[in-house]
């Protein structure tokens, strides 16, 4: 099973991609205090939760697609692969964000984290218009 979030934003696809398409940008991720990116691996620090490492699998500026996989985390995560895709709409843009995780028991945590990110993105994009 996958965690899927489809969200419409009243901002341009370019404005959203400017945020999501920058792998070391973390101001839209609640709880993350630092990030480094070496061109392939993104290392995130979450105080209280620990360090997470994600491999960027696909970064396509033209199609506005970012695919990544978490390969190191302090929890019981067995596998994780996610894809974000931004498409332009008449009213702004749509983000389709899908994450496949194992074990399934982690899905509620992942979904909550993704929903927190969506709320933060809404705030950021609203304040920039």
Secondary structure (3-state) at 60: strand
Please, which residues bridge with residue 41 across strands?
55
Residue whose tokens read 């979450």: 46
Q: Would you write out the chain's pLDDT as a tens digit for each of its 129 residues? A: 699 999 999 999 999 999 999 999 999 999 999 999 999 999 999 877 789 999 999 999 999 999 999 999 887 889 999 999 999 999 999 999 999 999 999 899 889 999 999 999 999 999 765
Instruction: Give this prediction's pTM.
Output: 0.92
Q: Which two tokens stand for residue 37?
A: 């990116």
Instruction: Report how far residue 105's alpha carbon sits from residue 94's, in angstroms, rounded to the nearest whole number.
Output: 28
> Domains in the chain and their CATH numbers?
2-127 (3.30.530.20)
């Amino acid at each position: 099973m996958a965690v899927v979030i489809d969200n419409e934003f009243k901002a341009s696809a370019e404005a959203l991609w400017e945020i999501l398409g920058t792998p070391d940008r973390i101001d839209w991720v609640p709880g993350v205090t630092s990030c480094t990116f070496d061109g392939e691996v993104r290392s995130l620090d979450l105080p209280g939760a620990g360090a997470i490492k994600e491999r960027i699998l696909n970064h396509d500026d033209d199609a506005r697609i970012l695919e990544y996989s978490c390969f190191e985390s302090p929890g019981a995560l067995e596998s994780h692969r996610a894809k974000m895709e931004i498409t332009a709409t008449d009213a702004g843009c749509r983000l389709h964000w899908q994450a496949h995780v194992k074990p399934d028991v982690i899905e509620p945590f992942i979904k909550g984290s993704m929903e927190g990110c969506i709320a933060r993105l809404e705030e950021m994009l609203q304040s920039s218009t």
